[in-house]
Structure 1
Amino acid sequence: MSTFPGGTSLSHLDIYGDAAPDGVCGGSPHMHLVSTEAYVVVSGRGALQTIDGDGFRETPLSAGDIVWFTPGTIHRAVNRDDLKVVVLMSNAGLPEAGDAVMTFPAEIVADAAAYAEAAALGDLEGRAARASRRRDLAVTGFEALRDALLAGDPAPLEAFRTAAGALVRDRATGWGDLIRERPLAQAERSLTHAQAIARGDVAHLSEARVQQAVPSAGERGFGMCGRLRTYDVTEQENQK
């Protein structure tokens, strides 16, 4: 169980600083199918490149900026000067359950085995190089989608969305349970508390506790957009 606000997850993200084949430094373009993601920019400078219902857009990012994007927004984090962000993700646990599809070329997204091979990071040794390779492949597909939209052709984007849905369809069967057990359960607890207060019942206030998130140990992992340190925001029984 987690009482962290909104049933969200939190992580620190250092956006990749190496350049993709187009000369732009940053992460792997991808899309979430159910979850909304937010960036709180801690330091540095960069941009968020997005493809959504309004087409292609680039949003500048610098310290203090906050930007969020809803399901279906293809996004690419761009690092122009040591960009670091705090990431808040709705539906804690859902992204880790497969709620993301990278913008690999169409023939790869349409083939589950080919997609799994392209997305895999494998063993720790050599992981940085594999993360760069999959980022470069995702950028290739992203450029194709962007260029088609700029030319007035939405068909490749529509095809990508359809293929992405088919790719995660089987794993999505368990997502409803995860949402009910985490963000929905937290919202229902808040509603119960509000109703109790309206009745003059303050018993739940005796359960108040301070919690502290536990950061992942060791070096930051390789995420889609950069080097990632996650935080465990589930209840820690020994905290008072």
Structure 2
Amino acid sequence: MSHPLPGAVGLSHLSAYDWEAADGVRGGTPHLHLVCAEAYVVTGGRGAVQTLSPDGYRDILLEPGAVAWFTPGTVHRMVQGGDLRITVLMQNSGLPEAGDAVFTFPPELLADPDAYAAAATLPPGTGPRTEAAARRRRDLAVEGYLPLREALVAGDAGPYREFQRAAAQLVRARVPDWRELWRAGALAAAERTGAQLAALADGDAAYLDEATAYASGPTRRGGYGMCGRRDEYALPGTTLPYDGVSG
């Protein structure tokens, strides 16, 4: 039986990348999620998250105790200010690991699914070869991100909207698989609450006989995620094994 976290959310911990990009900013790989909201809970250090959305460009300060979150379609880029560490909460139990995230690669890569996959996929493991590939991937995403940001700051949302459309087309074939993950995760969690409310309304507390507690710890440390080095939890229905493409 699956025992997901409350609300069937995903969980990981990130230490933001310290690599300097072409614009002199140290940090992660810009991307968006198509159907999943994401939250950062800052646990240490300082930094920022840059976001692109229909309401413009923002640079949100991240310091211990801060919480920032983004709705689907918001491009976000984590910025390292000094030992930045965050806990990440992801909506929809596993969809981000199933390809819900799309990097801000240049348009020619977004238009070619095979080229996109080749640029996005990392070699297995956590060694120097994987690190080099993760850095190349970050640099490609920054290359595509900077023109989007420049245009949006200038009042032109066209390139940003075109990126959103290209991202949606790129993942379209995955939607049937995502529906199954959603049904088994977030939807099932909401339906369980509905059944419990119905039982309580009938004066039936029998479902409380199943009450228990669980504990877990990271099952992989130091993986190369989008925004930084990632500690992962292989909880059923919560965080899928890291596939080297997303997360």
Q: TM-score higher than 0.5 here? A: yes
Q: Is the 8 A contact 1:2 1:182 kept in 2?
A: no
Residues in 2 aligned to 1:162 and 1:111: alpha-carbon distance in whole angstroms: 14
CA RMSD of aligned residues (A): 1.3
Aligned equivalent of 1:192, options 188, 195, 198 = 195
Residues in 2 aligned to 1:82 and 1:71: alpha-carbon distance in whole angstroms: 27
Residue matched to 2:85: 84
Q: Is the 8 A contact 1:17 1:26 kept in 2?
A: yes
Residues 134-178 of structure 1: CA deviation (Å, up to 9, x unaligned): 101101111010001122222111111111011101112211111
Residue matched to 1:58: 59
Residues in 2 aligned to 1:3 and 1:128: alpha-carbon distance in whole angstroms: 30
Residues paired across the two proteins, number:
234
Q: Percent same amino acid at aligned positions?
A: 51
Question: Structure 1 186/20 Cα, relative in aligned 2: closer, same or farther at 3 Å?
Answer: same
Residue matched to 1:39: 40
Residues in 2 aligned to 1:45 and 1:220: alpha-carbon distance in whole angstroms: 20
1:145 aligns with 2:172: no
Displacement of 1:232 in angstroms is: 2.6
Residues in 1 aligned to 2:142 and 2:3: alpha-carbon distance in whole angstroms: 35
Residues in 1 aligned to 2:86 and 2:200: alpha-carbon distance in whole angstroms: 37
Q: Is the 8 A contact 1:42 1:85 kept in 2?
A: yes
Displacement of 1:233 in angstroms is: 2.9
Residues 168-211 of structure 1: CA deviation (Å, up to 9, x unaligned): 01112211111111111011111111111121111111111101
| SS state at 2:3 partner | coil
- Could you tell me the TM-score, scaled by structure 2's length? 0.91
**Structure 1 segment 30-179 matched on structure 2, within 5 A:** 30-124=31-125, 125=127, 126-179=129-182
| SS state at 1:234 partner | coil
Residues in 1 aligned to 2:111 and 2:186: alpha-carbon distance in whole angstroms: 31
Structure 2 unmatched runs, 5+: 238-247
Structure 1 unmatched runs, 5+: 236-240
| SS state at 1:232 partner | coil
Residues in 2 aligned to 1:136 and 1:204: alpha-carbon distance in whole angstroms: 51
Q: Structure 1: which 4+ aligned runs deviate by more than 4 Å? A: none
Residues 9-29 of structure 1: CA deviation (Å, up to 9, x unaligned): 101111101111111111000
Q: Is the 8 A contact 1:214 1:233 kept in 2?
A: no
| SS state at 1:22 partner | coil
1:16 aligns with 2:17: yes
